Each structure stands twice: as structure tokens, then as C-alpha cells.
Structure 1
Amino acid sequence: MQPISARFSDISAVSDASFIPAQLRDEIAMLDGILYDVLKECEGDRVLIPLARLRQAAHELYLQSAEGADPDPILNELRELDPTTAHKVARALTLHCQLLNLAEDRQRVRSLRAQGRDGRIVEDAIESGIHEVIELEGSEAVEALIQRLRIHPVLTAHPTEARRRAVVDGLQRISQQLERLDAPEADDAFAVDVRRRLAEELTALWATAPFRQERPTPLDEVRRIMAVFDQTLFDLVPGVYREVERTLARRYTGATPPRTPAFLRYGSWVGGDRDGNPNVTAQVTRQAVEQQTEQVLERLERRTRNIARLFTASDRYIKPSEQLQSQLERDQQDFPEQAAALQRTSPDQPHRHKLVYAAERLRARRQSDPRGYTGAEQMIADLDCLQRSLDDAGVPRLAYGEIQDLRWQVATFRFHLAELELRQHSSIHAAAIEELAPGYSDDAHALDRLARDGWQTTPEPTTEQTQEVLDTLRTAAQVQATHGPRACHRYIISFTRSAADLVAVRALARLAVPAEQWPDFRLDVVPLFETRRDLEHAERVLDEILQLPGERAALAERGNHLEVMVGYSDSAKDVGVFAANAVLHDIQERLANWARDNDINLTIFHGRGGSLGRGGGPLNRAIRGQAAGSVSARLKVTEQGEMIFTRYRTVESGRWHLERTTNAVLAMSTHHAEEHAARLAGRYRDDLQRMSSASESAYLELVKAPGFAEFFARVTPYEEIGQLEIGSRPAHRSKARDLESLRAIPWVFSWSQSRINLAAWYGVGTGLAVIGEEQGGIAKLREMRREWPFFAQLLENVEMGLARADMILGSKALDMGEQPQLRDRILDEWQRTEKWVLIATGKDYLLERQPFAQASQELRRTDVDALSLLQLAALDQLRNASEQDRGPWTDLVKMTIAGLSSGLQNTG
């Protein structure tokens, strides 16, 4: 391999560069060169020389890792480097990692486009999923499946996006400049101009402060999420539906009434999730809904007007239906000025007129004008009338082209964009009940009577906390009265442990919501089971709910539809990743059986994080590993932090993510798939339980060891992560600031930063060894991996977690804990886990059969290892600095945190 230099020639460090496409290789080389020139212009050798020295040392450390490399020499050098220069070196490494991510994203899009041009059935695409169902159960089965299909991503404000918005926008502009080079007319002069613009954008990024100066407010987070809807989600949705249509009716797509319903729904916790976040108030929730509503109405109006401009069909050739003519007469009366203008400019285009009037009604709705649409259903009815008129007139392609795309957008986003969901901790409601009705907080039947019959008195809250609970429920009723029930009707209860935790919310709502609004108020209370104990008791809680007359009646009003949320993050933090996955798989199977036995239409809401330690990994693979009956054509899942911006960075990447998700949901919803999953779970249940118990014991022995909390704080940049202004939520749910109150995100984030990545693998080796060390055990593990998608996906995620860790650098971080017994215990389990994962997968080294993932990781390794070395040196200096000298070292650690987040491509 060639030596590494400040010119970022990282491709030379990849063991097999053949897996890096030539176009990606060329693009990286160009960006590398421009970044080097920018750094030379802005900083000169005072940054480039230490940068080159650090990268070379990191590269050599990796090459020597098998021989027991020693990082101390370079760490000693870095301790002597002044923090200002070190900060600039970290910024340069961070920016390079961001450019690598951008280039790989673009290559992914190019590959998807190429596959589409080839006309092949691409693995994991919607088309392959539909064909899979047809082969197993026939074409009628797939039609029925699609009619009941529902995919419901929920975007959250969980703070795992370490970059500030200005940096994200700058990288987007760089991507747009690179896109110009793909144009056919891009000659040499054009390329020179693009390079000039790229240099300008990179200089601007270099001059941009990498972090926010203050923590974002919840409404800042709302605006950030709204940008995702505006830039990609709104536009990509019709393409997903079109892909289903293309597969179902290849010859007639766009020329017949579509068979694909709007099966996508979006939810949001941004502005509604108040669990441990005092910054989210009733007023914030109200403003969040208003912002969402304003945005979607503006986008729908713009889209409708754009279609109208292109719609020039004349009534000389395309006669409008009588129903459409009748509607136009009403429209003309409501909008006389617009009617006069249309009569002057396009008197013979009634179908265009209808679209213009639809846009006017959207504008009127935005302005609270009574002429506006009363709701999305009214606009859908107008579009249906327009489509029927065009179809009857003999131009179905005009009916089911752009107008159908608009109709799908209205049906998907309606007039509220995303269903805003409320979330609060169960203890908050219990405290409110004790304040307002002492002695009732644990009595589910008494609370059910309050919810059903109303309160005999009207007690006044005496604390701000209880007042806020009531204000939140009152706000939900006001939102529903203005924007419809779907805008804000779900209330999620964190740490649900009894039926009383659920019915308490309904009882409080009965007190908060005015009597005249109560009959129309919709409140779907969703239990969230998070810890191991709560997950195991979930069926008991649900049985208790069915015994409450008021809850049973509310369930019947919803057509016996029940939503239950299961948490991946806190369960993994509670008992370790292996045991958490085992208990989650088991409870989902039990919940599916419970729902079937009780005639309940169940939707399991998966609270998955972006990282491997919080239920992350490829979503489509995870869906195919779900328990029997737990999917059933319905998937609801959280999408968090950096995963939102990764998956929905472009229309193409967002569409591909949704296609793969749809593919997996369809495949796992057939009778064949459910029976197969049940057989496999039954065959391996006892083995999984034995491995899970051993893994959990090993994990608990570690995290409950004396002094572990202090050890964790010393070996990771946990405190510095809490100082990053990346989210409105505190790192802890309470003021205790202990491991129990610590949220799962900073727990996982901290371990990944230290290059130990403990949350993604600890205890797995001990668990696998229980089976592997038995007679024939290795063959059993390999059989389980080969036959059982759940187990295969678990091992795949653990393997990736190990691959992102680094034994040399992680060991140095563990040394800082100054507790040799804990350090040795972690290193022993680390080696044990890697050994048994490789044995179970039949590999000689990590990522052996994933060359693309390996090449991608090696592409970043020099920068990532360099950032880790900088972080280790900075933490060492910070731990020993006086109070007045801590500032520069803290800033340097925060800079390395951002860089490692980009290089490792995950945070929490």
C-alpha cells in the first residue's frame, strides 16, 4: 500500500479497491484534490504537516494491528500539539469524512438509476417483493395484501444528528455542483467552472462554525424535520405508488384507475414528545401542528397550480361531465374574480379551471377563509370527480397521470402532513392523578369510571406539571377541532407497567377536554413497553385493559384496532443487545397470538434507533426477521436523527428505502412466511433462551459492577456529548444523572465514540458459547444462522458493530477508566464475541463476505482512526486540565465527536 498523505489518497489504503466503482474513485480523487488546495490556501503547512503526520501514523497503526501496535508514540506527539491546531486538523478530517459520505451517496443513486435503466427485477425492490408473493400465494393474494398494506414511518427529534443545519446545506450544494458534472453537456470549460464552485463551497464550509452556538428549541427541530418533507418526502411518495402500479399493471399503468391505495402514512414526534423534555409544552405542540399544516397546504397548492398550468385540454375535444360542470358553477360563485380571469385566459378549458379552483380552495384554507376546503376528503372528492370526467371523455391517461400523483399526495399527507403524536412518561400521569384524585393512580377500574362517566367535581391542579398535562390534552382537542382527528390523536405512554398507566390518560383527558368537544374527541392511548420486565408483562397489561368497560368500548369504536409500541433502545441498555433482541422477538410473537385469540387488529410500533445497539441496521433485513404474525401487512417504525437525513437525503435514496421496506413487509405478510417463521422460532426457541440468559448475566455483571458508572464516564466522551447543542432533550430523564436515568442514545453514542462500541456486542460471545461449546454446537449455530432470518440478522448487526470498533484504540480508551478488572472483563468478552461470531458465520475475518461494506469502511479508516487518536489525546489532556484551561480541550473533543459521527456513519 502507498503511504497516506495530507492529500487524502485514502483509496490506496483499501485492501481491495476493485469494489470501489471507477466513477466513485474519480469523484473522490477530485474532491480530495480540491479539499487539499482549499486547506493549503486557508491554513498552509501549519495544518497540513500535522495532518499528514497524524494520518500516516493512523495508517501504520492499522497495518501493525495484528502485531500488537503501540499508539503511545503518536499520542505523545498529539499531547504536545496546541489545541487550536489540533482542532483544525480534526475539522479537516471531519470535512473529508463528510465528502466521502456524500460521494458514496451519489454512487448509490447512480447504481439505482442504472438498475432502473437495465429493466431488471432488482433484489429488494417492490417488484421482486410482489413477484415473491405471487409465486407463493397467487396474484389475488397480492392484490388483497396491497389493499390492506400500511407503512407508517414516524420521524422523531431524537438528537443523533451531530452536524448543524448550515453544514448539511453546504454539503447539499456541493452535491448539486457534482450533479452538474453528470450532465451530457459538461465539457472541459464546464468542469473548470464546477471545480471553481466546489472550491468556493468547501472554503465556505471551512469558514463555517461546525456546531450550533446554542441548543435548538423544539420548534427549531420542527423546522428541521419540515425541511425533510419539503425537500424529498413530498415528492418521492408518488414514485413508490407508481412502482407498485407498474408491477401490477405493466402495460396499462397510468391509463386505468389505479389499484394501489395510498398505503404510506407519516407520523412525527417532533413537538409532541415531552418524555423527559420540559421544553416541549402544549404551546409548542400547537405551533408544531400549525407549521406542519401551513407547509403541506402550501406545497399542495403549489403542486396543484403547476399541474393546472400544463393542463390545456379543450372542451372542443374533451367534454366535461355534468357533475364537473355543476361543481364549476359553485366554484365560479365562490371565486368570481378568479372565474373572470379564467374566462379571459382559458375559456375552453374546464378541467384546468377545476384544478385552479382547487388551488384557490387550498389557499383559502391556509388563510382561514370559509371558502376553503373543510378537509382533505373534500379535495379528494374534487379530484375523483375530475378524474371520472376525463376518463369518461376518453382520455384516461390525463386522468391517471399527474392528477393521480396529486391525489396520492393528498391521501398520504392530508392537510396535516404528519400525524403528530404525543408521548409522556407514565409517572407524570400517575403524579397528576394523585394530585387531582388521591388514591386513584393505581386503581384502573376507578380511573376507567372517571373516563367513562366523567368527574363529579372539577379539581384544580396545584402544580405546573399537572397543569401542563391537562393543557396538552386540551390542545390535542383544539387541534382536532381545527384540523381533524388524524392530526393529533395518539398518546404514547413511556414505561407502561399497568392498565392504570393507560386509562389514567383517558381519565385526565375527560377532565381537560370541554364537555362539548368530548363526543368528537379521539384519543388512542398507545402503551410503550421498554424494559425487559415491562416487555414480559405486556400481555398481562393488555388483558387488564380488555377487562375495563370504557377501554373495551373505545377499542370497539376503533374497529378493534390496537397499537402497541415496543422499545429497542432501553431494552438493550437494560439487559444487553442479545437478550433484548431475544425478548423482543418473543414478545412480538406472543402479542400476535394474543391479538388473534382476542380478535384484535394489532399494529406493533417498533421504537428502533439508528445505531446497532438500539435496534438499528438494515430495516428490510430486520422486517424479514420479525416474529410470525407480527407484521401482517402493517409496519409502524420510528426513524431517528441521522438516519432521517441519510435515508431521505435525496428523492432517489428515500424512494429506495421505502421500496425495500415495502418489499420486506409484503414478503413477511404471506401465510407461507408466517408459518415458516413460526416453525423456525419453535425449533430454536430453547437454544435462543439459553444463549440469551447467559448473555444477559454477563452484561448485568458488568454494568452492575461497583464503580461502573464512573468508569463509563471516564472511558467515553459522555460528558462532552451532553454539551453538544444537537437536540432539545436533556441526556437524562431525571435529575439523578445515574445509569438508570441515562437515555439510551447517549449510552450508545458514547461507546461508539470510544471505538469500543460495547452496546452493539457485549455479552453476545458468552451467549453463543453456550451452544457452540457443546457437542455439535458449532454446526447448530451455523444452521441457525443459515435457516433463521432473525438469528442471521442479529449476527450480521453484531458483526458490523464489531467491525466499527477497534481493539487497539478501544483498549487505550479503557485504560483511562483506571479500573483494570473492568477493562480486562470488557476485553475478554470482546475477543470472545469476535471469535464466536466468526465461528457462527463461518468466516475468517469480519465482513469477509461483505466486500462493499469492507471497502467502504476501509475508505474511511485512516480518517476515523486519526480522529480517535486526537480524541484520546484530548480527553487525556482534558481529564488533567485545570478548570480555566479546559475550554480548548473540550472544544477539540466535541470536534472529534462530530468527525467520528460522520466517519462511523452513526451516532446514537
Structure 2
Amino acid sequence: MSDTSPLSWTQLTRVASGRAIIDPAASYENKLVDLLYKQLLSVLRTRQPDIEAFIEGHRDIREGTDSQILYLLEAHGIWFQLLSIAEQNANVQQRRQIEKEYGRRRVPGTFAHTFSMASRHDIPAEEIQKVLNKSFFCPVITAHPTEAKRVTVLEIHRRIYILLKQLELTRWTPRERDELIHELRNEIDLLWLTGEIRLEKPTVAQEITWGLHFFTESLFDSAMKFYAELDRALRKVYPHIEFEVPPVFRFGSWIGGDRDGNPNVDTEVTAYALRENARASLKRYRQDLRDLGSKLSIASHSLRVPEHFLNALEQKLEMLGETESFSKRNPGEVFRQYLSCMLRNIDATLKNIDEPRKSSIAYHSAADLAFDLQTLERGLTDARCEHLSRSNVVPLRHMVDTFGFRTASLDLRENTTVTNAVLAEIWQALHQKTHFDVPDFKSDKWEEWVVSELMQPLRVIPNIDFLSNRAQATLAMLEQVKHYQRKLDSKAFGVFVLSMTQTSTDVLGVYLLAKYVGLFTDVDGLEACRILVVPLLETIEALEQGPSILSELLGHGFVRRTIRRNGDSQEVMVGYSDSNKDGGFLTSNWIISQAQTLIKKAGEKHKIPVSFFHGRGGSVSRGGAPSGRAIAAQPAGTIDARMRVTEQGEVVSYKYANHGFAEEQMEILAASALAHTLMSGKDPAFRINAELDEVMQALSGTAYVTYRKFIEIPGLVEFYQQASPVEELTLMKIGSRPARRFGAATLEDLRAIPWVFAWTQNRIMVPGWYGVGSSLEQLVSIRGELGKELLQELYNTHSLFRLILDSVEKTLLLVDMEVAEKFSELVVNTQYREAIFSDIKSEYERTTQMILQVTKEDHLCDRFPNFKRHFSRRLKSLNQVGIEQAELVKKFRDEQHNAEDRQNVLVPLLLSINCVAAGIGSTG
């Protein structure tokens, strides 16, 4: 009898990496890689034949002329892009192979797996339905400057991906197959001819277009398949239960609403983002309604149309005044007539986006459109056409429930420094004082004033014209919320994310600003706010203070009422990037885990549900990890069917550019979060082990001290700036956001993204591993054999520790000390250079040794053959490009070169940065 028990994520990794399934996946991937290499080589022979010897490995890049180096860098960058497309395609195929071999119920990250586990643990259907009803899973697409690909390039990538999928089919004749391969070569040729480097920084409007590209190309379609798979899995595992499938999945966006450090985002840009978001969803509904109208050619005389549907149609026709014209256009086809009415409503709604006057026939909300679809659905079902309803109307209704008239809910984000400064201006005006008299923002006096203003009925604030431009812009941003919630969609806005939250008063201050602009539900500004303020805890100190911040916040009645009005859950955002930059990789992950547990308990004391918004980036250093495993490593009870997570830059392209992969990623997120919700109270793996948590605390403490000692070494800032292309990164045109907050150039004010990006380019990768080796070594040094045994127990049973070690090990494989040393030679101060680079090498060797000791491997990433194979394909090229980049940085910084010489160096330098980013798989 075959085993039908679900596979774990670790077991799936072993299966997927070739220990259980070897030839099908590896050989298929190799065939794709070989095919793409031949086509690229064919293009290069035509376009740039003198670099073939370099590409084939017969000559070293350092032997090339300036012109050859330029084209070589472009060729390597394109090759890395093609490799990623091939590997993604093979990943989908590999997952299919595993499903064929073991069955879908045994594959983690699928609904079938999650509900199968639930059934095995005797979880009743009623509990499943209860969890589904409160579920809210939401990726939030951000415009962080980590994406170096233009939309034009993404479109070429998508066409290449589709061609590879077509070539999977065995039905083609040799002639047809040759035609597809020829088309593939043409796309690669187009990729070569398309400029890789942006000539200008993208505007926020262009970033909005970039974000919406993924919805129009894949996510609208993927959402329908997502719900179909959810419904299918429920029916399969619980065949005798009729489940109601609610809208469990939504999307959010920061593009056009994120003002933190980006002066290019203003009220006009935000309004544009909201309109474009609404337009994208409505255009898609219009197209789907047209397609549905073409398909539903049902003659009324061929079946019995239910009376309630005919009545609904009559009301629609009368409202539109189109009874005669629609009846003539589609005589005897009542379902088409109904769809024609809906199209008129949609067209009017689209027109209302830009016109101040509302058309009387426009839909007032997405709920009205959903109601019409339910009417159509019920009409078809009662006419004994349930199959047509289920396959055609239900998916569209799920799409409307998911995307509304907004596509994605737009979060607003601003920094505490700004919101407190705006409040300070208002305080000065009210008290007729100077800025020297403003109380300290962390003082009791400041808190007392903020609270007293919130507790009394709204009074008129001084004339806004007397406030600074920044203050006026901040208040105008909040004023937009009420307008667009009414005009477009009640969920057009998501939440207000407050960056660098340090105290509960910081959050209350934003509510006070909202009160001043009339954003409360009552005229006195005492009842509830129309938008929820979410504290973003992104430093080690803020995360440790998180429970008390939340507890103080929930002590206010209007905050509790605001929570109930806005989803009935207080969201708290935890930041992986800045906490890593602040305290190192291990400490950041541990503190975030601990903070979630304690924050959740603080909410329980006030009987307020708490959910978490995970601010993850693409790289390990910024919280990047496989979604399923990252979710499985969350503390017990902290997900509770609600989770938001940022999807930034290159992660968005990787996950959501193509249909099959996008659907898979959506299912992994939702199914894994559901599994955590259903199982974390029942699975022994989630039980708190005080002894192991004490070991984790000790490891975190040592890692923190080691990391802080490193970043506080005299000359570290100088070493970092000179031994990496961090200054040159500011010349990259990959985002509308400046690289530094408020124009500062200190390490504290440098954004986490360039901090990680620069360490990635020089192949040192400090944020992804530094301090871990010392923490492991010290534990063994102090506790001896017991320490080794505890590390083994942690490794085998503690999902967070295992995830941390796996991530560190993969990062260590990406480190290259030869490239790193080449960059270190750019540091002018010999003393700093030798001391700091020696320290880096020692900790790297220590961390590598300790990781291998715990995992019992001979070499790094023996446990991850897929990852190792993918990286090995890139290694030689990456190292050559890295060494060449160090030389280009040196030339670019040479003060003896004139402006023209520096400009000639700049293009290949920027190409090398793009190339390394593509080869490593992330920018920051």
C-alpha cells in the first residue's frame, strides 16, 4: 500500500532537489538551458562575433578591449536572465512531476495538502469554514528600488517563458518545432537589442504602470484559478460538505502611496495611482463580460428561465431605458441581454473615474457588480445550467470579490519624523510658540497634549496656509482618503503604515492629524477613524518595545472602535531589513519571532485580534525566504488566518510575471498560512521548548554583540563606501526613491536596501551571515558536548533555527573572497583595509566551519543540490564580472579622468551592477 501521508517542507526539498526524483527534473532543465544557450550564441555570432571566444570560455574578460567588455557584460546579464526563466519553467515542471509521483495531497503549499492534514487530525468542516471566513492573505507590491528590469524587458521575458512552455508539448511536427525555436531566437535577439540600462530614473507614474503590468498579464487570471483550486481541494477532501468559498485573498500596493523618503510621491501622484488601479480592474471586468456575452448564446426557448431572473432583467432594462434596443440586438437571449446591461453599467463606472459627476447608471460599488453576477449565477443554476455558471460566472465573481474597483488597496506610508514634525507645527500655532518650545516627542508632556486633543471634540486648527509645504502635503494626503473611499471603492486605501514607530504616541499622533482633516466617522472626531494606523517596528529596540506600544495603544477606546471598523484586527508591521542592519541576521529573526508572540498576547489581554504584516525583501538579508518555509517557521498562533507580506522589486517579477508560477505562489502563501492556523495548536513542533528558546536567546545575544562590534569598528563606514559600489548605486535608474533618507550620508540613515545591495555586489554579503559563526562557536566553547547536542536538537526540531541556518548556508555559498579582496583593495586607508577585511575573512571561515559542523556536510549546500547547481552555472561568469566591476569602480573614481572618460566607464559599470544582480538573483 502506498504512503499517502503529507510530505513536510524538508522532505519536499529532498524530493525536489533530486534525491527522490533525479532525471526528469534535472534533464529537462538541462535541455532548456542548452537550448537557450545555443540561441543566445547564435544571436551573438550575428550581432557581436568577436566576443564568442570569451563566452565559450577560451578567453578571460580582462583580456578584452573596452568595447568587448561592454558587450560581454551585456551578454552575461542576458544569460543570467535566460537561466532564471529556464529554471522557473523547470521548477513548475518539477512540481508537476512530484504531484504525479506522490499525489497533490502530499505536496506542501497546496490546498490539497493543507486540508488533507486537517482531515487526518480530525478537524471538522465547520472549523475549516470558520477559518476561511476570517482569512485574509495579502501580498503587498512595493516600488522599493530593487528592480532593475524595465516593463519592456519583462514582456520579452514573458514571451520567452511562454515559448518554452509551448516547446514542452510533444504534438509539434519537426517543422513546427523549428518555427518555435526560430521565434525563441528572435525574442533573445530582441532582448539583446533592447536597452538594459535606464537612461532616466523612472517616475512614480512609470512605477505604477510597472506594478499594474503583473495584474493585467497574470494576476487577474491567476486569482480565478486560485479559487477554483481552493474549491476543488475542499470538495475532494470533504466530499459531502458544501463549503462557501469567501474572498480569502487580496492584494495591496505601496506604489503611489509610499511617501517615506520619497519626495516624488504627492497627492496628485496618489490620486493618479488610485484612478489607474480602479481603471485596470474595471477594464478587465468589461473584457470578461464581453467574452461571457459571446459565450452564453442560450436561447430562452431551449430551457426554462426562472421567473426571478426575468424580473431582474426587466428591472435592469427599465433602469437603463434599453428594453427595446437590447431585445432587438439579442432577441430571445435573456442572459446576453442581462450581460449587455452590466456592460453599460461598467462603461458608466469607468467614465466616472475621471469625471466629477456620477452617472446614475454607474455601479456605486464592486458589491453591486458582485450582486449582478450572483443574480446571473443563480439564474443559470436554476435554469439547470449550473456547469456553465460554475465554470464561467463564479470565477468572475471571485475576481470581483478579490480586486473590487481598486485592483489593489493602496497603503499610505510616512515616517514618524515627518508626522511628528507636522504635529509640532500645529502645536506651535495653537500655543503661539516657537519650535524651540515644542516638547520632546517622547516626553509625557507631548503625550498628554496629543491625548487631550484626541479626547476633546474637534476644534478648528489654524489656517493650513500658514503651515509648511510638507505639513500641508501630509494633511492633504489624509484628506484624500475619505474622498476616494466614497468615489472609487471603500477599500481603495488599505492602511496608514507609520515607519520607524518608537512609541504609542507616534501612532496616536497620526490619528490626531486624521482627526484634524475630518477623517473620523463623526463630526466631533471622537468615534473612529476611517483608516487604520499600522505601527512599523523596524529596529531591535522598537521590536522589543512592541508589546508595550500596542498595549498602550489599545487602551484608547477610539482605537478599539477604529480596529473594529477596519477589519476587526490591529495590524502590526515587522521590518526585517532595518532590524537586520541594526542587529544582524540571527538576532533580527529571533527578535521578530519573539516580538510577534508577545504582541499577540498584548492584544489578547485587550480582547483585540492582532495580525502581522511582514516587511520582507528579496534577499536573505532583508527577510527573503521560500514562502512556505518562512510561514511554517512563524510562532504558534501568530498567523491566525491573517497575513500580509511585502513583495518587492525582483521578487514581484520572479513570482508574478507568469501565469502558472503566479498561481502556484498565491496558493503556497494561502495554503501555508491556513496550515499554520489549523495546525499550530495541534502540531508538537509548535510547542514552546523553554530550554531550546533559552539557547536561541543565548545565540542571539552573542550574534548581536559580534555584529554590533563589527559595524562599530573604526573606519567601517569608510571601508564600506570604498570597498563597494554603494556610491555608484545612486547612479542606477531603478527607482524613483532616493538611496538615503533626508539626504543624510551616515550609516544610520542609509537605507537598508543599498546597505544590502552594496554588500551583494562586492560578494561579501555581510548582512546575510555575519555574527552567526561566532554565536555557534561560543555556545560550543562554553557548553562543550552539551552545546553540540543542543545545536543538533535545534537543527532537527526548531523550524526557525533551521530556516536561519539554511538561509545563512546559501548566502555563504554566494560569498567569494577573491572578488571581495579585489574590492577591498579600493580602500585607501591601509590600516582600516587590512583590519576589517581580516575580520571579515575570519568570521566567514568560522561561520562556514560551524555550519558544516551542525549540518554534518562535507561542503556548503550539499543539502541543496538544485540551489548549488543553479549557482554553479553562474559562478565563473559572476566572478569574472565581479573582478571587472572592481576595476571599473576604480577607474570611475580616478580623479585624473575627465568627465568624458568617467562617462565612458559609467555605462559598463552600471551594466556590471545589473549583471551581478541578475546572477545572484536579487539586488537588495
> TM-score, with normalisation over the residues of structure 2?
0.90
- Matched with 1:362 is 346
- Matched with 2:904 is 888
3-state secondary structure, aligned to 1:490: strand
Q: Once the 2 structures are TM-superposed, how far is the Cα of residue 166 of structure 1 from its aligned partner?
A: 2.3
Q: Given the alignment of the two structures, is residue 373 of structure 1 paired with residue 363 of structure 2, yes or no?
A: yes
More divergent stretch after superposition (523-532 vs 320-329): 320-329
Q: Once the 2 structures are TM-superposed, how far is the Cα of residue 656 of structure 1 from its aligned partner?
A: 1.0
Amino acid at match of 2:143: A
- Matched with 1:790 is 800
Percent identical: 28
Amino acid at match of 2:118: V
Q: Given the alignment of the two structures, is residue 429 of structure 1 paired with residue 419 of structure 2, yes or no?
A: yes
User: Cα RMSD over matched residues?
Assistant: 2.4
Q: Once the 2 structures are TM-superposed, how far is the Cα of residue 447 of structure 1 from its aligned partner?
A: 2.2
3-state secondary structure, aligned to 2:634: coil
Q: Once the 2 structures are TM-superposed, how far is the Cα of residue 898 of structure 1 from its aligned partner?
A: 0.8
Equivalent of 2:192, from 192, 201, 206? Answer: 206
Q: Given the alignment of the two structures, is residue 592 of structure 1 paired with residue 595 of structure 2, yes or no?
A: no
Amino acid at match of 1:231: E
Equivalent of 1:38, from 43, 49, 53? Answer: 43
2:761–2:916 CA contact under 8 A, matched in 1: yes
Q: Given the alignment of the two structures, is residue 138 of structure 1 paired with residue 138 of structure 2, yes or no?
A: no
1:380–1:410 CA contact under 8 A, matched in 2: yes
2:692–2:790 CA contact under 8 A, matched in 1: no
Q: Given the alignment of the two structures, is residue 850 of structure 1 paired with residue 860 of structure 2, yes or no?
A: no
- Matched with 1:902 is 918
Q: Given the alignment of the two structures, is residue 444 of structure 1 paired with residue 447 of structure 2, yes or no?
A: yes
More divergent stretch after superposition (748-757 vs 307-316): 307-316
More divergent stretch after superposition (801-810 vs 819-828): 801-810
Q: Once the 2 structures are TM-superposed, how far is the Cα of residue 430 of structure 1 from its aligned partner?
A: 0.8
1:155–1:644 CA contact under 8 A, matched in 2: yes
Q: Once the 2 structures are TM-superposed, how far is the Cα of residue 31 of structure 1 from its aligned partner?
A: 1.9
Q: Once the 2 structures are TM-superposed, how far is the Cα of residue 512 of structure 1 from its aligned partner?
A: 2.3
Residues in 1 aligned to 2:681 and 2:772: alpha-carbon distance in whole angstroms:
27
Cα gap change, 1:354 to 1:110, in 2 (>3 Å)? same
Q: Given the alignment of the two structures, is residue 108 of structure 1 paired with residue 91 of structure 2, yes or no?
A: yes
1:134–1:142 CA contact under 8 A, matched in 2: no
Paired residues for 1:714-729 under 5 Å: 714-729=722-737
- Matched with 1:640 is 648
Equivalent of 1:628, from 636, 641, 661? Answer: 636
- Matched with 1:186 is 172
Equivalent of 1:483, from 488, 509, 523? Answer: 488
Residues in 2 aligned to 1:27 and 1:633: alpha-carbon distance in whole angstroms:
39
1:539–1:594 CA contact under 8 A, matched in 2: yes
1:157–1:727 CA contact under 8 A, matched in 2: yes
Amino acid at match of 1:487: A
Cα gap change, 1:772 to 1:340, in 2 (>3 Å)? farther
Cα gap change, 1:218 to 1:700, in 2 (>3 Å)? same
Residues in 1 aligned to 2:483 and 2:398: alpha-carbon distance in whole angstroms:
27
More divergent stretch after superposition (790-799 vs 203-212): 203-212
- Matched with 2:459 is 455
1:180–1:186 CA contact under 8 A, matched in 2: no
More divergent stretch after superposition (310-319 vs 594-603): 310-319
3-state secondary structure, aligned to 1:781: helix
Q: Once the 2 structures are TM-superposed, how far is the Cα of residue 582 of structure 1 from its aligned partner?
A: 1.0
Q: Once the 2 structures are TM-superposed, how far is the Cα of residue 667 of structure 1 from its aligned partner?
A: 1.8
Q: Once the 2 structures are TM-superposed, how far is the Cα of residue 424 of structure 1 from its aligned partner?
A: 0.2
1:448–1:549 CA contact under 8 A, matched in 2: no
Residues in 2 aligned to 1:228 and 1:424: alpha-carbon distance in whole angstroms:
25
Residues in 1 aligned to 2:344 and 2:170: alpha-carbon distance in whole angstroms:
40
- Matched with 1:396 is 386
Equivalent of 1:418, from 405, 408, 411? Answer: 408
Q: Once the 2 structures are TM-superposed, how far is the Cα of residue 437 of structure 1 from its aligned partner?
A: 1.4
More divergent stretch after superposition (534-543 vs 328-337): 328-337
Residues in 2 aligned to 1:556 and 1:413: alpha-carbon distance in whole angstroms:
22
Residues in 1 aligned to 2:625 and 2:149: alpha-carbon distance in whole angstroms:
21
1:607–1:637 CA contact under 8 A, matched in 2: yes
1:301–1:362 CA contact under 8 A, matched in 2: yes
3-state secondary structure, aligned to 1:613: helix
Q: Given the alignment of the two structures, is residue 295 of structure 1 paired with residue 305 of structure 2, yes or no?
A: no
Q: Once the 2 structures are TM-superposed, how far is the Cα of residue 175 of structure 1 from its aligned partner?
A: 2.8
2:543–2:592 CA contact under 8 A, matched in 1: yes
Residues in 2 aligned to 1:457 and 1:29: alpha-carbon distance in whole angstroms:
68
Q: Once the 2 structures are TM-superposed, how far is the Cα of residue 120 of structure 1 from its aligned partner?
A: 4.0
Equivalent of 2:112, from 117, 123, 127? Answer: 127
Residues in 1 aligned to 2:313 and 2:910: alpha-carbon distance in whole angstroms:
61
Residues in 2 aligned to 1:459 and 1:674: alpha-carbon distance in whole angstroms:
58
- Matched with 1:70 is none
Paired residues for 1:214-363 under 5 Å: 214-250=200-236, 259-337=244-322, 339-363=323-347
Q: Given the alignment of the two structures, is residue 836 of structure 1 paired with residue 850 of structure 2, yes or no?
A: yes
Residues in 2 aligned to 1:420 and 1:749: alpha-carbon distance in whole angstroms:
27
Amino acid at match of 2:870: S
Q: Once the 2 structures are TM-superposed, how far is the Cα of residue 663 of structure 1 from its aligned partner?
A: 2.4
Residues in 2 aligned to 1:493 and 1:251: alpha-carbon distance in whole angstroms:
42
Q: Given the alignment of the two structures, is residue 703 of structure 1 paired with residue 719 of structure 2, yes or no?
A: no
2:600–2:609 CA contact under 8 A, matched in 1: no
Residues in 2 aligned to 1:467 and 1:883: alpha-carbon distance in whole angstroms:
45
Amino acid at match of 2:872: E
Amino acid at match of 1:806: D
Cα gap change, 1:549 to 1:662, in 2 (>3 Å)? closer
Residues in 2 aligned to 1:150 and 1:852: alpha-carbon distance in whole angstroms:
33
Q: Once the 2 structures are TM-superposed, how far is the Cα of residue 147 of structure 1 from its aligned partner?
A: 2.5
- Matched with 1:653 is 661
Residues in 2 aligned to 1:561 and 1:399: alpha-carbon distance in whole angstroms:
34
Amino acid at match of 1:121: R
- Matched with 1:742 is 750
Amino acid at match of 1:189: R
Cα gap change, 1:683 to 1:245, in 2 (>3 Å)? farther
What do the CA deviations read for 1:532-586 (whole angstroms, capped 9, x no partner)? 0111111121122133343244335447521111101100000100110111011
More divergent stretch after superposition (280-289 vs 368-377): 368-377
Residues in 2 aligned to 1:244 and 1:148: alpha-carbon distance in whole angstroms:
15
What do the CA deviations read for 1:240-280 (whole angstroms, capped 9, x no partner)? 12212112113999x99752211001110000000000000
2:519–2:530 CA contact under 8 A, matched in 1: no
1:292–1:417 CA contact under 8 A, matched in 2: yes
Residues in 2 aligned to 1:19 and 1:49: alpha-carbon distance in whole angstroms:
32
2:637–2:680 CA contact under 8 A, matched in 1: no
2:634–2:800 CA contact under 8 A, matched in 1: yes
Residues in 1 aligned to 2:778 and 2:618: alpha-carbon distance in whole angstroms:
29
Residues in 1 aligned to 2:478 and 2:696: alpha-carbon distance in whole angstroms:
43
- Matched with 1:764 is 772
Amino acid at match of 1:105: Q
Amino acid at match of 1:512: V
What do the CA deviations read for 1:562-614 (whole angstroms, capped 9, x no partner)? 11111011000001001101110110111122122221111111111111001
Residues in 1 aligned to 2:331 and 2:98: alpha-carbon distance in whole angstroms:
45
Amino acid at match of 1:503: L
- Matched with 1:164 is 150
Q: Once the 2 structures are TM-superposed, how far is the Cα of residue 746 of structure 1 from its aligned partner?
A: 0.9
Cα gap change, 1:514 to 1:409, in 2 (>3 Å)? closer
- Matched with 2:6 is none
- Matched with 2:17 is none
- Matched with 1:815 is 825
Amino acid at match of 1:162: A
Amino acid at match of 1:876: K
Cα gap change, 1:848 to 1:182, in 2 (>3 Å)? closer
Amino acid at match of 2:52: L
Cα gap change, 1:854 to 1:515, in 2 (>3 Å)? closer
Amino acid at match of 1:780: L
Residues in 2 aligned to 1:514 and 1:548: alpha-carbon distance in whole angstroms:
17
3-state secondary structure, aligned to 1:421: strand
Equivalent of 2:72, from 89, 106, 126? Answer: 89
Q: Once the 2 structures are TM-superposed, how far is the Cα of residue 309 of structure 1 from its aligned partner?
A: 1.4
